[in-house]
């Protein structure tokens, strides 16, 4: 897919701006293009610019121009969101697809539309007013991140042996201690190692420095000793496969699932990203403040980091036990006993 040949001029300018000026990755820009293509296919269909029987995913957007873009209002977008939540195929290429996109997916598409119109007003100066300025994002169900406990993390690390043990132990150690993303890990080069520091290229091509604790440094040292005799075809890559080429995301995903199963943990519940959740949770539980954690994880916005500030189950259990009604059962049929204090009636008699 190449938006430079498939998108109309006004969309191409917006996408090029994000790729060249904002520094967004090719994958991100391609997703923007797909979001806008779906949106304008719907707009053309709703405004009667294509036959009603036209196959949705074959509607061309080559003729999308400023006049059509200017004609869009909030009512059109709300109608579009209703279409996404009820009628849009989750997997258009699959005959067994379900319908209705998740709120998180719809929220991303809303963000793309808002960004596009903001660009037209503030950067391209093609619109005087932003018709979607008051557009709200779909409300999303908040879920707590899933993570390994400290004991489970140790259990996982202790179980690593056999083929590629040094490499796999090093990778999992970095996930659990540094909280890096899988995309960041597979992109690491030997030159990114700088003593007790690791240079990481994160989202939006933003570099950050991650400091390595003793466990990480030891794991890296052990892996480098093995890697030195591997005959790597990629002389730059920090992590390589048995075929001596740079390790891929799919290879890391497979390895993590294999190692979780071998450790007696449920590989259906956990993944490389869940190990990142684990690192973040363990840091918070051991005194790291949320703003420092934001820097460690490479989050652009603090509210992304705050999903990790959940209350741990031990605190919830303590709170439940602290309620005095917790001592009143059907069998007791009485008031909870007051420990180490006299009742109010006895106090009044003295």
Residues involved in catalysis: 181, 203, 273, 276, 299, 308
- Of 177, 50, 41, 169, whose CA–CA distance to 109 is shortest? 41
Beta-carbon neighbour count of residue 50 at 10 Å? Answer: 16
Q: CA 246 to CA 155: how far, in whole Å?
A: 28
Query: Do the beta carbons of residue 274 and residue 148 sit within 8 Å?
Result: yes
Sign of CA dihedral 230, 236, 186, 244: negative
End-to-end CA gap in the chain? 87
Q: CA 276 to CA 178: how far, in whole Å?
A: 8
Q: CA 115 to CA 135: how far, in whole Å?
A: 11
Q: CA 130 to CA 80: how far, in whole Å?
A: 18
Query: Do the beta carbons of residue 186 and residue 236 sit within 8 Å?
Result: no
Q: CA 24 to CA 15: how far, in whole Å?
A: 9
DSSP single-letter state for residue 306: G
Beta-carbon neighbour count of residue 28 at 10 Å? Answer: 17
Instruction: Round the CA-based radius of gyration of the chain to a whole number and report it.
Output: 27
- Number of helices and strands (H, E) in the chain? 16, 3
């Amino acid at each position: 897919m190449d938006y430079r040949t498939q998108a109309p001029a006004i969309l191409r300018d917006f996408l090029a701006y994000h790729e060249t000026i904002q520094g967004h990755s090719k994958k991100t820009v391609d997703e923007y293009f797909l979001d806008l293509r779906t949106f304008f296919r719907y707009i053309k269909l709703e405004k009667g610019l294509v036959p009603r029987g036209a196959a949705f995913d074959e509607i061309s957007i080559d003729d999308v121009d400023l006049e059509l873009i200017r004609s869009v209002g909030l009512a059109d977008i709300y109608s579009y969101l209703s279409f996404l939540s009820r009628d849009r195929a989750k997997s258009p290429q699959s005959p067994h697809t379900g319908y209705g996109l998740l709120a998180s997916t719809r929220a991303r598409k809303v963000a793309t539309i808002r960004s596009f119109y903001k660009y037209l007003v503030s950067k391209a100066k093609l619109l005087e007013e932003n018709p979607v300025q008051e557009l709200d994002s779909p409300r999303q169900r908040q879920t707590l991140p899933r993570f390994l406990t400290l004991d489970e993390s140790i259990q996982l690390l202790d179980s690593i042996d056999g083929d590629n043990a040094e490499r796999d132990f090093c990778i999992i150690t970095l996930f659990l201690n540094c909280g890096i993303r899988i995309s960041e890990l597979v992109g690491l080069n030997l030159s990114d190692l700088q003593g007790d520091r690791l240079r990481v290229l994160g989202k939006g091509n933003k570099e950050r420095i991650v400091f390595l604790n003793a466990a990480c440094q030891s794991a890296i040292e052990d892996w480098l000793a093995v890697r030195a005799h591997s005959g790597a075809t990629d002389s730059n890559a920090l992590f390589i496969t048995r075929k001596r080429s740079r390790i891929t995301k799919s290879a890391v995903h497979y390895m993590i699932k294999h190692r979780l199963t071998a450790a007696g943990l449920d590989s259906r519940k956990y993944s490389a990203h869940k190990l990142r959740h684990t690192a973040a949770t363990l840091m918070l539980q051991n005194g790291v403040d949320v703003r420092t954690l934001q820097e460690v994880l490479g989050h652009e916005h603090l509210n992304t980091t705050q999903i990790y500030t959940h209350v741990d189950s031990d605190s919830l259990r303590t709170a439940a036990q602290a309620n005095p009604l917790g001592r009143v059962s059907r069998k007791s049929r009485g008031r909870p006993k007051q420990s180490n204090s006299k009742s109010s009636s006895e106090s009044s008699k003295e």
